[in-house]
């Protein structure tokens, strides 16, 4: 009888324990209007003058958020900050943002994607002034730890295209990662930006900022 009682108690505890509602993994690509892989002299020439614009994008390979399955869906955040994003000496806030949600998402998935992006973006997507629903496509090709080739499109509104950083891209010959990624990520690789643009409404500006070492390609994984 005692053995049966212990088994029943153990089962009750197991069923009472909360199950993870945020188990998710995928790929992430960002680009901004200032170099992230750069020498100190060039970084100092851009700070407070550039780097207030960015596009952040996530593709969920597999997983759920708050109990909602998000397999294969994407979400994009576009931000306009008040100063250079990542500058440790000055705050970039207030920051306004536009959220672009995968048009394939159901109403429940749309809410989950919004919650996910806000959690991952380190408060940069707290003030969303406009939400759009567009087809989102992302492909990432990673040859080794030193290269990152990625393409992301969010309908006609936003796009990022990157390639590996080459030796000839360096000017100072002692470049390094000056700013960390804007989002919570796992392994991140700096990349050279071939295309980075936003053509939508809501932020009072549009932009195209290519030909810079201004991107990151990364993975992410959450289990909680």
pLDDT band at 148 (very low <50, low <70, confident <90, very high): confident
Question: What's the whole-model pTM score?
Answer: 0.88
**DSSP character string of 33-101:** SS-SEE-HHHHHHHTTTS--EEEEEEEEEEEEETTEE-TT-EEEEEEE-SS-TT-SSS---S-EEEEEE
Provide the pLDDT for residue 15: 44
Tokens 């992230």, residue located: 36
Yes or no: say if 21 and 67 are a contact pair by the CB < 8 Å rule.
Answer: yes
User: Which residues have C-beta within 8 Å of that of residue 113, sequence separation ≥ 6?
Assistant: 65, 70, 73, 75, 101, 102, 105
Yes or no: say if 220 and 75 are a contact pair by the CB < 8 Å rule.
Answer: no
User: Angle at CA 122, nearest 5°, toward 119 and 125?
Assistant: 70
List the chain domain ranges: 21-223
In terms of CATH architecture, what is 21-223? Beta Barrel (2.40)
User: Which residues have C-beta within 8 Å of that of residue 97, sequence separation ≥ 6?
Assistant: 77, 78, 79, 80, 124, 125, 126, 127, 128, 129, 203
Instruction: Report the run of H or E that residue 224 belongs to, with start and end.
Output: none
pLDDT single digits (tens) 49-62: 689 999 999 999 99
Residue 114 has pLDDT above 70, yes or no: yes
């Amino acid at each position: 009888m005692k053995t049966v009682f212990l088994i029943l108690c153990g089962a009750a505890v197991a069923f009472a324990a909360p199950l993870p509602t945020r188990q998710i993994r995928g790929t992430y690509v960002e680009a901004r209007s200032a170099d992230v892989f750069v020498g100190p002299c060039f970084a100092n020439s851009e700070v407070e003058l550039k780097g207030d614009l960015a596009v952040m994008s996530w593709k969920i390979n597999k997983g759920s958020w708050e109990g909602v399955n998000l397999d294969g869906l994407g979400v994009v955040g576009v931000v306009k900050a008040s100063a250079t994003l990542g500058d440790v000496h000055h705050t970039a806030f207030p920051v306004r943002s536009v959220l672009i949600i995968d048009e394939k998402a159901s109403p429940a998935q749309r809410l989950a994607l919004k919650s996910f992006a806000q959690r991952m973006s380190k408060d940069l997507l707290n003030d969303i002034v406009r939400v759009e629903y567009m087809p989102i496509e992302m492909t990432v090709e990673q040859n080794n730890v030193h290269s990152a080739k990625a393409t992301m499109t969010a309908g006609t509104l936003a796009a990022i295209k990157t390639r590996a950083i080459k030796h000839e891209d360096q000017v100072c010959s002692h470049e390094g990662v000056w700013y960390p990624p804007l989002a919570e990520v796992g392994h991140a690789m700096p990349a050279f930006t071939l295309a980075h643009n936003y053509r939508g409404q809501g932020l009072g500006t549009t932009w195209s900022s290519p030909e810079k070492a201004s991107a990151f390609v990364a993975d992410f994984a959450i289990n909680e």
